[in-house]
Amino acid sequence: MEQIDIGSSGVKTSRIGLGTWAIGGWMWGGSDEAEAIATIRTAVERGVTLIDTAPVYGFGHSEEIVGKALAEGGLRAKAQIATKAGLAWVDGKVHRDSRAARLRQEVEDSLRRLRTDVIDLYQIHWPDLETPFDETARTLEELRQAGKIRAIGVSNFSPAQMDAFRAHAPLHAVQPPYNLFERDIEKDVLPYAARSGLTVLSYGAICRGLLSGRMRADTTFTGDDLRKFDPKFTGERFPRYLAAVAELDTLARERFGKTVLALAVRWVLDQGPTIALWGARRPDQLDPVGEIAGWTIDEATKGEIDAILARHVPEPIAPTFMAPPAKRPLTA
C-alpha cells in the first residue's frame, strides 16, 4: 500500500482511506453494525490504515462503530483516525457551528466515541461563515498543543478560506469532493494544496458508487439514501453517466487489465498529493484494493478518459446538493 505524509504534521498514512459515511447509516439507507465492524477490520488488515469518519455520519453512530472496530486486537495502533467537527444537528437537521465552545465539546465527544486518547487528523467539516476563522483556527491549534489531535485539516474550504485559517494556525490537509466526474478543485484547491504543502483527502473517489461498475439503469435507491436527490442518479443524466462508466470500464480492461473502479481510484492518486477515500460498508467491497498499487495512468490514456467524459457528460454536475445551510438557525 502506498503511503503519504499528512502535510508537515508527522502523521503518515495509506493513500487509500476508508470513508465511513455509509457505515453511519444516515442518508445511506441504514447500516449493519457487525458487517461495518468487519469492513473496518478488513480494511486495516489489507493496509488501508486511514479511517475517515465524522460525528454527523449517523449522528455519532459512525464514530462509535469505528471505535468498536479498532478497540480490539491492537488495531488502533495500526490505524490513523481522521474525524471532523463544526456541524451540529437538531432533530436530524444539520447546521454549521465552528465556535470555540462547540469545538471543545465536540473533540471530547469524538474521543469518547472513538475510544482513543488522540485523533490523528481533526478537520472542520464545512466552513462556518458566521464564526471568525481565527476563532476556529486557534481553537484547533490549542487542541493540537494539548495533545488531543495530531494534525489539522479542513473540508470543503476554498483557497481564500484556507488562507484566512492558516493566518492563525498550521494547516496540514484539505478534504474536497474529487473524482473523475467531480473535478472542480482542479481549478483552485488542488493547485493551492500542491503550492502550500497540504495533503488532499479526496472524498467520493468512486462518486457514491457510480464508478464502482456495479450500477445499472434499473438500480434504485430507497429510504433516506442521498442518491435519490443527487442529480447524477436521476432523470436523463443517470444513463449518460452509466454510459461513461461502461466506456471507462472497457478502456480500463483493455489497456490495464483493471476494473473501472481501480481506474477511478488510481486516477485520483495520480493527480498530486492525494488520498482517495473509498466508501465501503461490506468487506467484499474492499476486494479491489489490491488492484490499485504498482501502476499509473499515462498521459495519453488520461486524454482518452477526458474525451470519454466530454462525449457522455459534457455538463458535469457538481456535488453542491450536499452542502448544509450556510446560516445557523436562530435557536442555535
What is the DSSP secondary structure assignment for residue 325, as one 8-state letter? P
Handedness of CA 127, 129, 130, 134 (dihedral sign): positive
Pick the closest to residue 179 from 270, 301, 84, 43 (CA basis): 270
In this structure, the number of other CB atoms found within 10 A of the CB of residue 309 comes to 18
Instruction: Specify whether 192 is catalytic.
Output: no
153: alpha, beta or left? (left if phi > 0; alpha if psi -120 to 50): beta
Please enumerate in sequence order all residues whose Cβ is within 8 A of that of 164, keeping only pairs 6 or more positions apart, or say none: 133, 134
104 CB-near residues (< 8 Å, 6+ apart)? 139, 143
Q: Which is catalytic among the residues 57, 192, 203, 241?
A: 57
Element (H, E) at 123: strand 121-124
Surface-to-core class of residue 93, CB atoms within 10 Å of its CB (0-12 exposed, 13-18 middle, 19+ buried): exposed
Nearest Cα to Cα of residue 24 among 15, 33, 16: 33
**Shortest CA distance to 163 belongs to which of 135, 143, 192?**
192
260 forms beta bridges with none
- C-alpha grid cell for residue 181? 466526474
Q: Please list the active-site residues.
A: 57
